[in-house]
Chain A
């Protein structure tokens, strides 16, 4: 039997798992946001 209770395991692993998902989400969404901004700026400058 593990020395750690289920709650301890959740407290131990949970935050890191959540943060990892947050990181992936940030990386993907930020990339999209950047592409959208560049695209709209290009249109604005070129008067398209």
Chain B
């Protein structure tokens, strides 16, 4: 058999380059962890990722497992029908870029969210923790499924290269994934995916070209393998063909619900770059889907239809067959690295969901740092072992099916409708979201097992039943997504929507400059928001507005309206303030125009975190944390601002709602949480406050054409209230 002849038959050069490439990657990864500094870096690359890398990595994050091994396998067994894998995915991805990316990017910035559960919690105004906990549970389950699929894929690769038994490949693959996660954590993921994705994409371009030079177009050869192979419906007709096509198209429904795609949307540096990123991602898809399908088809030509028992092996086998050993070694190592990187991030997302969102956010809000560190470590280990077990029991299921049924589909059906609705439908409620998530997840799981369940009761329709057979066997994401949407709408209409949604939705219709501004001086950036560095994208004027509106005006006078300028009581005070770059005089339209100053208090901390690592020296990260002492929330900043004491006339001074000690606790707690999200901590990190300052930042309040305008005295940004 072709498979047994090649499995384990990889030349030494293949194995040498394979191993060398992985070692280099590991070295880069360990080195790169020194620079990983913020939770933003961990989850969304610090929102400094440009459009090309964002677009590329949005797609490259799927190159592991499913597209690399799964789609060629599908083409090998289904023939040209596998081209339909792009039928739903490509337009769904385009619609997501067009309809979700910008809104999610803006909104996640405004509500300081870096993860989907946090985004849902803020957007849906849910203070009960139900939405966060439910979405976190869904993530935990289906991200775990993803990890399992990656482990199976890694095991397959090792099996093909070395000829080891499948279970040993899975055990070693799982151990590598777990070890990698515990060693270095999540590093520079966008760039990492970029490199691996580029290599695999090049392979998907080169393999068909080389094969074409040898065989010409594959279709005539395919016809000898059977008519179904050269039929776009896989040789089916009637309802079977309809549901077959629906099944392929439904794969695209998973795009909005998969966090690894959504975080790329959140992570782009400038919203205006979304268009370019979309172009890159889409072109990537065209090439990857056509290339992956052609790899499977040429495998039929090369090895013969049905000659390879394990379809997942066709891509590695064709690579070994058509490429020189050294190049084949690099391509397969890149594939394994992409799987490890994906599994690592999926494992940490699942851990974060379990510990931060479910345990800390819902079960034990008073958990100590030591408890969280210990439980996070145990959770990573537990989820990792569960994923290895899942991989072992599912080892005979194709990677294509594993990913679609136990990861992609579940996330798509449970999370996707809520993502779309939260961004487009003001009426969406927390109750609707929770019901939708449960419906989507349960339906996906049940529908996947429906033929088996019906079989137990001898109720499974026969193939001749046409419609009913097609419906029962259609890809579960289709019915699960539809039901999830219906439940979301129904329950939302029966419950009360959160308040204050209109303001957020108004922002979506604003130009991008209303949300992102260039910074000119130090600025407090929201947690998980943009790192405020010169020349980069920055904290939002919308956030500034919200801050003033929610915290300043409402505290001054609960009936504050446009006449606020006449109502507020002003005074002159000597205050420690950040030196304004925009003077009060500069914002006046006329010399007599009244300008009220609002002094907003912050405590700023220069914090050093020491994290023990199992390999090499301890990692030390420095972070600037600013605590908004009115709202008691931690913010991020790029530098500790200098506060100078000056007399400020006609100033409304906001009183801190917390003590300095409490602010210090908040800063330390935020630093701890950031550290815990980025890696598996061996011990509670040492957090040292190197410097602490406190003072006020001024906002100028003026009236323009009957509108109250807030002007940031440091950045000069302004917005109508």
Q: Which residues of A contact B (CB under 8 A)?
A: 2-4, 7-8, 11-12, 15-16, 19-20, 22-23, 26-27, 30-31, 34, 37-38, 40-42, 45, 47
Complex Cα–Cα for A30 and B510 (A) = 14
Contact B511 A16 (CB under 8 A): no
Complex Cα–Cα for A34 and B275 (A) = 10
Contact B279 A16 (CB under 8 A): no
Complex Cα–Cα for A42 and B283 (A) = 33
- Shortest distance in angstroms between A35's beta carbon and chain B's nearest beta carbon? 9
In-complex Cβ contact of A4 among B80, B87, B275 (8 A): B80
Complex Cα–Cα for A23 and B219 (A) = 28
**Taking CB as reference atom, which chain A residue is nearest B218?**
A3
In-complex Cβ contact of A38 among B219, B222, B513 (8 A): B513
Contact B232 A8 (CB under 8 A): yes
Contact B230 A30 (CB under 8 A): no
In-complex Cβ contact of A27 among B230, B278, B286, B512 (8 A): B278
Contact A47 B704 (CB under 8 A): yes
Complex Cα–Cα for A27 and B80 (A) = 29
With A4-B230, A27-B278, A30-B275 known to touch, is A22 a contact of B704 (CB < 8 Å)?
no
Contact A8 B231 (CB under 8 A): yes
Chain B: interface residue total (CB-CB under 8 A)? 34
Report B91-103 CB contacts with A as 1/0, cut-off 8 Å: 1001001100000
Contact B94 A23 (CB under 8 A): yes
**Taking CB as reference atom, which chain A residue is nearest B283?**
A23
- Shortest distance in angstroms between B421's beta carbon and chain A's nearest beta carbon? 22
Q: Which residues of B contact A (CB under 8 A)?
A: 80, 83-84, 86-87, 90-91, 94, 97-98, 219-220, 222-223, 230-233, 272, 275, 278-279, 282-283, 286, 290, 510-514, 704-705, 718
In-complex Cβ contact of A22 among B83, B86, B91, B290 (8 A): B91
Given A19-B91, A22-B94, A23-B94, 16 more A-B residue pairs with CB atoms under 8 Å apart are A3-B220, A11-B232, A15-B90, A16-B86, A19-B90, A19-B286, A23-B282, A30-B98, A30-B278, A31-B275, A37-B511, A37-B512, A38-B513, A41-B511, A41-B513, A45-B718
- Shortest distance in angstroms between A5's beta carbon and chain B's nearest beta carbon? 8
**Taking CB as reference atom, which chain A residue is nearest B289?**
A16
13 A-B pairs (CB sep. < 8 Å): A3-B219, A4-B219, A12-B80, A15-B86, A19-B90, A19-B91, A23-B94, A23-B279, A26-B275, A27-B279, A30-B278, A41-B511, A47-B704
Complex Cα–Cα for A30 and B94 (A) = 12
Contacts of A20 in B (CB 8 A): 286
Tally the A-B contacts, defined by beta carbons under 8 Å.
Answer: 75
Complex Cα–Cα for A41 and B686 (A) = 47
Complex Cα–Cα for A27 and B282 (A) = 11
With A23-B94, A47-B705 known to touch, is A8 a contact of B512 (CB < 8 Å)?
no
Complex Cα–Cα for A31 and B87 (A) = 25
With A8-B230, A23-B94, A47-B704 known to touch, is A34 a contact of B80 (CB < 8 Å)?
no
In-complex Cβ contact of B223 among A3, A26, A45 (8 A): A3
> Among the interface residues B219, B275, B511, B514, which one has the most CB atoms of the partner chain A within 10 A?
B511
Contact A12 B232 (CB under 8 A): yes
- Shortest distance in angstroms between B481's beta carbon and chain A's nearest beta carbon? 20
- Shortest distance in angstroms between B59's beta carbon and chain A's nearest beta carbon? 13
Contacts of A30 in B (CB 8 A): 98, 275, 278
Complex Cα–Cα for A32 and B275 (A) = 11
**Taking CB as reference atom, which chain B residue is nearest A27?**
B279
In-complex Cβ contact of B511 among A3, A19, A40, A47 (8 A): A40
> Among the interface residues A4, A12, A23, which one has the most CB atoms of the partner chain B within 10 A?
A23
- Shortest distance in angstroms between A47's beta carbon and chain B's nearest beta carbon? 7
Complex Cα–Cα for A15 and B219 (A) = 19
Complex Cα–Cα for A42 and B222 (A) = 59
Complex Cα–Cα for A11 and B223 (A) = 17
> Among the interface residues A7, A12, A22, A38, which one has the most CB atoms of the partner chain B within 10 A?
A12
- Shortest distance in angstroms between A46's beta carbon and chain B's nearest beta carbon? 11
**Taking CB as reference atom, which chain A residue is nearest B98?**
A26
Contacts of A41 in B (CB 8 A): 510-511, 513-514
- Shortest distance in angstroms between A28's beta carbon and chain B's nearest beta carbon? 10
Contacts of A45 in B (CB 8 A): 718
* Pairs of residues from A and B, 8 with the lowest C-beta to C-beta distance, nearest first: A11-B232, A37-B511, A3-B223, A41-B511, A3-B219, A8-B232, A38-B511, A3-B230
Complex Cα–Cα for A11 and B81 (A) = 9
Contact A16 B510 (CB under 8 A): no
Contacts of A26 in B (CB 8 A): 94, 97-98, 275, 278
Contact A12 B83 (CB under 8 A): yes
Contact B223 A16 (CB under 8 A): no
In-complex Cβ contact of B512 among A3, A31, A38 (8 A): A38
- Shortest distance in angstroms between A4's beta carbon and chain B's nearest beta carbon? 5
- Shortest distance in angstroms between B489's beta carbon and chain A's nearest beta carbon? 27
Complex Cα–Cα for A30 and B97 (A) = 11
- Shortest distance in angstroms between B281's beta carbon and chain A's nearest beta carbon? 10
Contacts of B290 in A (CB 8 A): 16
**Taking CB as reference atom, which chain B residue is nearest A23?**
B282
